[in-house]
Amino acid sequence: MKKKLFTIPILVLLVLCVAGCDHSQKQRLEARLQTMAETAEIGTVEYTVKKIVKSSDQQWYTVGNRKILFQTTAYLKAGIRLQDFSADKVHVDEQNNVTVILPHAQLLSFNMPAEEITTVFEDISFFRSRFSADEQNYILQLGEADIRADVPNLGILEDAEKNAKEVFTAMLQQLNYNNINIKFE
């Protein structure tokens, strides 16, 4: 699995605006943050998952069996959706300590390109027909559902939160905050 770190410029703008504002600007900032956050997300990790998808079709009422084996590649991107993020999720005290509360990481995109799906093995008995295109698509949909169901076990969400925490911490350190606490809710 490969991991890549992505940042979005809007995130930098959000943190800089929150960190640099005083109480009189806070109300205007909250409205602006709400508008910006409705469309923003930060993808902090991307995984490449290779999967073997197999199917065996042997029924009691048929003569012979059918087997097929596919190799697929899926690209998963996880990160933080900033739609629920607002200025009230950032707290700065008198000692210049800051706490930022971010939403938990989510799967942001899933791509299993058709050009990266290959049939590795197919065994069809003489009395049976080949797998139709619809049957092959259904088998691949089951493979996709299996990958999606396994997302919590892959560690991608934990890595996305860890990377988001590092991004926010680095930006806030550049703004000279003393104690930085990033939380997820």
pLDDT for the residue 38: 63
Q: What is the DSSP letter of 117?
A: -
What tokens does 181 get?
A: 């606490």
As a whole number of angstroms, the distance between CA 63 and CA 55 comes to 17
Write the CA distances from 98 to 3, 39, 108, 163, integer angstroms: 29, 25, 27, 18
- Give 129's pLDDT tier (boundaries 50, 70, 90): confident
pLDDT for the residue 70: 93
- Give 4's pLDDT tier (boundaries 50, 70, 90): very low
pLDDT digits (tens, 9 = 90+) for 42-59: 777 899 999 999 888 877
Q: What is the mean pLDDT of the chain?
A: 78
Q: Name the residue ranges covered by the structural domains of the chain.
A: 9-184
pLDDT for the residue 85: 75
What tokens does 24 get?
A: 């009189």
Where is pLDDT greater, at 58 or 107? 107
